[in-house]
Structure 1
Amino acid sequence: MLSTTTTTLLLAASSLVAAQTTVNGSDNFVNAAFKAFTGDQFQKYTLTAAGINASFIPYGARLTNLYVCDQNGTMQDVVVGYDNATQYLHDSETNHTYFGAVVGRYANRIKNGTFEIDGQTSTIPDNEHGGLNPLHGGFVGYDQQNWTIASQTGNSITFVFYDQAQQGFPGDLLNVATYTLTDEPAWISRIVSIPLNDATPIMLANHVYWNLGAFVDEEAVTVLNDTLYMPYADRIIEVDSILIPTGAIN
């Protein structure tokens, strides 16, 4: 039986999702949030809108393909990934690139894999730099979880994942990822995380690798021929020799 507080939070989440896409009632959303995953974790679900289409799989709530028109009007896939979706599992066990997945519970790195909240120390498995720090949530992050589909329309899909204090993080967390295509064309990603009991660090992110050249010629094989334009990012976070943020912003 869900507590009143938990149910209220879930209903709030369902209202938020309903504002983005069609959800078949709050009760259905609440049930989907805690339902064990069933089905094919590598099945592709494709969304379409004018001039854009995208495919996702439950494994990591992952974007596998994003097709848009190039300057000649030809549809090109502009994200890096695998044609065979089962390769993402092999990738997780070998190179672990995190292609297209939601990473968490905490994206990036935590120094020494420890932190303290309200006098309680938590330790996260150190899966990078020979055991010096965790990356993207520890050995088994959100990119390796099978997310349940709570809702789907022709241009939008909502995945949910219930994290029960996994990888040493405190408290339970409900995660909702909604992906929507618009006719602009655009891909809109909204990720909401709701702590259900304890205070906890949360930082989720879409770990998409872009290839705007779509591998159409030799110059498009590497990003070194691309130009990155970030007009609103005039400062950077300083990191140490193993990419741990130092706290300094320059």
Structure 2
Amino acid sequence: MQLDHDGRDRVVYYQSRPLKPAERNCPVHDKEPLAMKYALAKFRVYLLGNTPFVARVVEHGCEVSTQHLLGNTPFVVYTDHASLRAAYNVRVEYKPGRLNVVADALLRRLDYAVKTVNVNRIDVARTYTPSSSLLDEVAGACAHDADAKQLIEFLSAPSDKTRLKLAPRLRARAHRYRVHDGLLFYSTVDDNAFRIVVSNDPDLRSRIMYENHDVPTAGHPGREKTYSLLARDFY
């Protein structure tokens, strides 16, 4: 690089080469002196015996490693580079990448680039619409279940007569059931939260599992989390 008439840096020559297998394993701060060593050797006919010049390091995020290049910190890996640099009248400076966007762009990976986000814009990646109301299916299944029909009939018009019609196992727990909008609810012994009663219908239960596990909006949770979600709303 050299200065133009306005005092700005102007690139006059680019040079590059593939990294050797051993060099690919080096961290970034070790690749910097390798690049400088290669540049000094490549342009030695222009630099040896010439007036003092400045070597600008444009690798982004290397202010700390530039101190190693300057020789302020002893580092064994830079010994070979330091011996070569001693033959040149060179001064190393760090140059922020924004001051040399061309070289900085060559050093950066596009997949690491910071992407700007417009918070006022919302993109819909996918929409999901249930094909039918799941609660309607649950209510319809209760209307065809013998135990559920007995409980709904009793709770809709509670009396001693309708209570006696209940099976003994249902009669002992009848006080734990509620009916609302055609749905049968049950409260367990441990809490007072009412949960929707699901009839013993394999297809319906598979549908409920699908809605709470497989659909995109469910997030495909694991076994324990899926059980917790189902136990919170269904019985």
* TM-score (norm. length: structure 2): 0.19
TM-score (norm 1): 0.18
Find the structure with the greater CA-based Rg: 2
Q: RCO greater where, 1 or 2, for CA within 8 Å and sep 6 or more?
A: 1
Q: Tell me which protein shows more strand as a share of its residues.
A: 1
